[in-house]
């Protein structure tokens, strides 16, 4: 293998908070969300993971339902993966277990209803890690998430050791974790 080659896992998180002004949603759509998808449509060799918060999904469904169709087309071609997570961007470790599962269930249901797809990975709001997360997301079909590489450095790993995914476990529940390179964020 050519040593100069590497694999880049590219993920994009898109969010607008509940109650944001409609013009802010529209500006984000016109300047970021739509142009990004148009670029992907022109470059089918590029594969990405995409996360949209529930409040943004609701707005897109209401204002630009054709965008959902375009995403579904990219998903069916294997060009994108849609990430799950808490629907309204909660900090999962800070809310009751029942609410964690409800938030993730809402997101999974929206994605399944609109894309006939079950997410395997999830976006962790503000990348707030808590060791019980594998148990919190148990039973929701989620197998991995991503957190900032600084968590790994704080645990004693060197930069050279943080170039792959890791497994973590809580009460027998296993979760894969991909480090997010802060230099690329």
Question: Is 154 part of any domain?
Answer: yes
Residue 157, both tokens: 């790993």
CB-side neighbour CA atoms (13 Å) of 77: 16
Question: Is 140 part of any domain?
Answer: yes
Question: Is 20 part of any domain?
Answer: yes
Q: What does the H/E/C string look like for 12-55? A: EEECCCCCCCHHHHHHHHHHHHHHHHHHHHHCCCCCEEEEECHH
pLDDT digit string (tens) for 50-87? 999 999 999 999 999 999 999 999 999 999 999 999 99
Range of the domain at 145: 11-184
User: 168: domain CATH number?
Assistant: 3.20.110.20
Cβ-based neighbour number of residue 176 at 10 Å: 16
Question: Is 27 part of any domain?
Answer: yes
Residues forming beta bridges with residue 48, ordered by sequence position:
80
Is the separation of the CB atoms in 29 and 60 below 8 Å? yes
Q: Residue 10 has what pLDDT?
A: 87
Alpha helices in the chain (DSSP H): 22-28, 34-42, 54-63, 65-76, 97-115, 133-136, 149-154
Residues of the chain with pLDDT under 50: none
pTM, full prediction: 0.91
Q: Residue 163 has what pLDDT?
A: 86
When divided into structural domains, the chain yields a total of 1
Q: Residue 1 has what pLDDT?
A: 52
Question: Is 5 part of any domain?
Answer: no
Q: Which residue has the tokens 């590497």?
A: 6
Residue 124 backbone class (left: φ over 0; alpha: ψ -120 to 50; beta: rest) = beta
Question: Is 137 part of any domain?
Answer: yes
Q: How far is the C-alpha of 157 from the C-alpha of 150, rounded, in Å?
A: 9
Is the separation of the CB atoms in 11 and 50 below 8 Å? yes
Q: Which residue has the tokens 């704080």?
A: 154
Q: Residue 9 has what pLDDT?
A: 82
Non-local CB neighbours of 122 within 8 Å, separated by 6+ positions: 51, 83, 84, 85, 104, 107, 137, 142, 144, 145
Question: Is 4 part of any domain?
Answer: no
Nearest to 180 by CA among 9, 59, 1: 9
Question: Is 3 part of any domain?
Answer: no
């Amino acid at each position: 293998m050519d040593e100069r080659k590497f694999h880049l896992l590219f993920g994009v998180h898109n969010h607008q908070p509940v109650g944001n002004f409609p013009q802010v949603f529209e500006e984000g759509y016109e300047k970021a969300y739509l142009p990004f998808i148009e670029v992907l449509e022109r470059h089918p060799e590029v594969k990405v993971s995409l996360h949209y918060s529930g409040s943004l999904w609701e707005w897109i469904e209401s204002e630009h339902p054709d965008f959902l169709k375009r995403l579904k087309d990219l998903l069916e071609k294997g060009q994108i993966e849609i990430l799950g997570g808490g629907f309204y961007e909660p900090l999962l470790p800070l809310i009751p277990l029942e609410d964690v599962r409800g938030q993730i269930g809402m997101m999974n249901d929206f994605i399944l209803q609109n894309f006939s797809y079950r997410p395997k990975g999830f976006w962790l709001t503000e990348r707030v890690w808590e060791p019980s997360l594998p148990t919190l997301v148990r039973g929701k079909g989620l197998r991995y998430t991503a957190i900032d590489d600084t968590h790994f450095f704080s645990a004693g790993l060197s930069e050279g050791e943080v170039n792959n995914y890791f497994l973590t476990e809580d009460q027998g529940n296993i979760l894969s974790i991909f480090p997010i390179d802060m230099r690329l964020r």
